[in-house]
Every structure is written in structure tokens, then in C-alpha cells.
Structure 1
């Protein structure tokens, strides 16, 4: 990847199509509810492949951090193979940046997988979704996986706040929002101070907690995905323009929110001209090692 040819880095995109496995029963109904929440008219009928995602982002000269989500234990839907996503990223390494996902409940097996993915497949980080995976981020049982990630020098990205996943479904698909309070990341950041930790999304209804943790812990960052910027609260914009300007990251939440939509709305909010390049590219470039 030639970082100077890239105009932005989207830190939050999803690998939404199966690679080496078929979708389980109920998956498309789940995706239809998801599409209704985000007012995405395509629904599950136009979920992009990883290759199609690469082509979309290449056309726009935007790099994309992309990952699956390992939530098979809680949802019953088989996960993508991390290796397959990483191989596709390797074939499109001018534009795609591979992250992986491992359920912390997999313990030492998951830790071994994490080390292998970094060493053999060039994976740069790992996505966690506490609500979908059903765990508190500061649960000590997850630390065996965190330790492997930290020792391999990779990034940890955690979903925070309310999620659109399960919204409107019967019982919210039995998903519990409580797991995604960003305050639980305070313990993780304190215990792994040399590992970059990304708190994904403006963490409604715990936005103050999220801003507090990111302000207090040098290794905690916030990606701004999952919301159109036109809905950002004033305090979120205030922090992005000031004390957290080096810690905010552009993220869309592709494919439910496209970068075209996100960037268009971002251009209309009160972000300072000198801060925009930091959010859109430079902060992410440093975290990922493309800039010193």
C-alpha cells in the first residue's frame, strides 16, 4: 500500500459475505432486520463480497480495515474463516488491511490462532463485539487472548455502545447491550498499556464514559463509525476538535453505512479544517504503522 496515494483510511468495514462456508438458516432474516435499522434498501440481497469491497474502495482511493465477526457461540451463525479473509486482503493489499475476529471464550485455542494469524497471514488487529459475543471486555478469562495479541504487536478494536445488530428482532436476538459499556475498556487499557485499543462507534448511551476513557488512557482511540456524522452529539464534536483530535478515526461501518454517505455528512459538521486530515487518515496511519 502506498499510503501517500490513499486519501483516507476507513477503520471499520465488515466482511459480509461467506468465504468458504454457506450461510446458516436464519442469517438472512437477521440481516433484513439489520438493514431496516440502518434504512439500507439493499438489505441482505446486495451484501458485498470482500473482493467487491476492495473494488469499491479502490475506486475511491480509500484504504479499508476489514474484518469478520466471530459470534458463532452466541448467534449460532458460523464465522468466516479468518484465514480466507486474510488471503483475499493479501490479494488486494493495495487497499485492504486485514483484521481478524476470535471469540475470547476460545481461550488458549484462540490465543494460538491469533499468533498464527499475525505471523503467517499478516493480520494487523482483532475485532471484538462484546454484545454479539456475550462477554465483558475486562473479564479476566479474555486476557489469555489479549496477551497473545499484545505480544504480537497487534491492535484491539472493540464495539462500544448500542448496536444495530438485533435491533427490532424478537428479544433483540437475546443480545445484551450492557457488555458494550466502554468503561470496561478502562481496565483493558490499564492492563495492556502498550497495545492500541479502538473503541468503535460513538458509544451511545455511554458517550461521556467513552470520552473519559479515551482522554485518560493514552492507548485508547475512538473510531467514528456506525453513525452518520449529522447525528454526532455536540460534546463528541467538541472533543474531536480539541483534546482528542489525535485519537479520532474515520470509520463508516460498511456496508450498512457507506463511506460516500459518511464523508458527505462529515463535510457538513463543524470539524476544523486542520483536524479533518487527522481524522480521515493520519491518526489511523500512525496506529497501523504507516507513519511514525
Structure 2
């Protein structure tokens, strides 16, 4: 157990009875103090932004509300409204075009101005429900390299990428090494496929490891195993306790002003 509270920047609010209480209890047992909670709504079998805010208001010392933005449907005005309502960051997945489409630039400009980090799903996205079989979206729109232009055009925007862009992990790793405000989590990457993630080659220096953030997707059974995996990988790479704290807490805390 750490002597500091861990922050999980990537938690989905699933539409299941008792899920919130179970998630909070499992996180506390694992030493995770804060949960950045988002919900994409019924299309994802999740709760939506209103329920996320209600959860944050019910647990102000545990939950940080993150607004789910549907790129191509929601606009910069929505970002400003969410910020005014108390949301601290944004989450997005399945845009109607490439993440770096100029059509989305007003959203990124608003988020940068308001100091709201954006958590982008990156890499291949699974099918979630039968209706997704005829959903006009593409994983190609969410590959890590689409974040490069955003990082260059909006240099003060904090970008959190999910899943280290799996399976495009090399591009994701180099993007976070290159850009000061780009970070990635490693949840969803199969632990058994170490040959696809030669960590010592992708992240050869300690400061490169320091560009990771801790994210789990919020499944109650996932906090302890994923935390163990993060620590094992960092210990194996000789990452100092100070840098491990950046990964598990400080990177997200600084972006959110905690």
C-alpha cells in the first residue's frame, strides 16, 4: 500500500445495479483515493453525464466528474457548460472523423482554455453491444498519431491517451516522449503479449516511464491486478519511487489542480 492516495484517471460508470458502491469499495481497498469517472450513456450501457455529476456530488472526496463528449455531436459550448457545472475533464471515443479533424478544433480550444484534460480512447475499439454492428464509426479515427496534430496545435492542452494506443503502442510511446502534455495509460493491453510491448525499448529512460498515468477503466476487479502490473513493470525497469508516484498520482493531480 502506498503512503499516498492513487488517482485513477480512467473509470467508466457502468449501468449495473450496485456498481458505484462496489467500485468505490474495491478502489479504497487497493489504495486508490480518487476516481475520474465518466459515462458515455445508454449507447455504451453506461450512465451519462448527469449521473456522473450526481455520483461526484454524493462522493466529493472520492469522485472527480469527467464529461463524456461525443465528437461530431457535442460542441465547444457544451464544454463550457460542463465546466461551469463542475466537470473537471473530458472523455471521448468513437468520433465521427479523425481526432485531429479541424471540425473538432473549437472543442480542443475550449478545453485548453478551461484547463480541462481530455482522455482519448486510442487504438482498436471493441464491439460492445449488438447495435454497434451497424454503427458508422472506425478505430482508424482513434489511432495514436491523430493526437500528434492536436498536441502541436494546442500545446497547453493536457492529453491523456488510453491503452497506450494498443496495438499501435510504439507510436503512442514516442508521442508521449515527444510532447510535454501527452500521457498514456496501459489498461487493456494483454499482459501475456510482452513481445509486442518491449518496454525497455519503447521507454528506455526513467523520465519516459514518468509520462504514464494510472487508469483501469474502473472495473471493481481490476484495481489491484493492474496496480500490481504497473508496479512490477516499473520495478523491473528500475523506476524510482519518486517517478512511480508521478505515474500513480502526481501527473493527474497536477493536471487537475488537486
Residues 1:112 and 2:96 are matched in the alignment: no
CA contact (8 A) 2:70 2:92 kept: yes
Q: How does 1:160-239 map to 2 (within 5 A)?
A: 160-166=122-128, 175-229=137-191, 231=193, 233-235=197-199, 238-239=202-203
**Corresponding residue for 2:64?**
97
Measured after TM superposition, the shift of residue 82 of structure 1 is 1.1
Q: Secondary structure at the match of 2:64?
A: strand
Q: Which runs of 5+ in 1 are unaligned?
A: 18-45
Q: Distance in 2 between matches of 1:194 and 1:59?
A: 35
Q: Distance in 1 between matches of 2:60 and 2:31?
A: 13
Q: Distance in 2 between matches of 1:172 and 1:211?
A: 32
Measured after TM superposition, the shift of residue 5 of structure 1 is 6.9
**CA RMSD, Structure 1 to Structure 2 (Å):** 3.0
Relative to structure 1, the CA distance from residue 188 to residue 13 in structure 2 (aligned partners, 3 Å threshold; closer, same or farther) is: same
Measured after TM superposition, the shift of residue 175 of structure 1 is 4.3
Q: Distance in 1 between matches of 2:29 and 2:102?
A: 43
**Corresponding residue for 2:37?**
66
Residues 1:81 and 2:48 are matched in the alignment: yes
**Corresponding residue for 2:208?**
244
CA contact (8 A) 1:166 1:175 kept: no
Match of 1:13 among 6, 11, 15: 11
Q: Distance in 2 between matches of 1:113 and 1:206?
A: 31
Relative to structure 1, the CA distance from residue 175 to residue 116 in structure 2 (aligned partners, 3 Å threshold; closer, same or farther) is: closer
Q: Distance in 1 between matches of 2:71 and 2:199?
A: 33
CA deviations 1:100-155 (Å, max 9, x no partner) are 11212125xx32222122122x21110011xx333211111112222222221111
CA deviations 1:39-96 (Å, max 9, x no partner) are xxxxxxx6653343233323433121110126x7xx5x68743133112112212111
Deviates more, 1:236-245 or 1:186-195: 236-245
Q: Distance in 1 between matches of 2:206 and 2:21?
A: 37
**Corresponding residue for 1:31?**
none
CA contact (8 A) 2:14 2:39 kept: yes
Q: Which runs of 5+ in 2 are unaligned?
A: none
CA contact (8 A) 2:163 2:184 kept: yes
Match of 1:272 among 226, 238, 242: 238
Q: Report the number of matched residues.
A: 250
Deviates more, 1:233-242 or 1:192-201: 233-242
Measured after TM superposition, the shift of residue 216 of structure 1 is 1.8
CA contact (8 A) 2:36 2:66 kept: yes
Relative to structure 1, the CA distance from residue 83 to residue 168 in structure 2 (aligned partners, 3 Å threshold; closer, same or farther) is: closer
Normalised by the size of structure 2, how large is the TM-score? 0.83
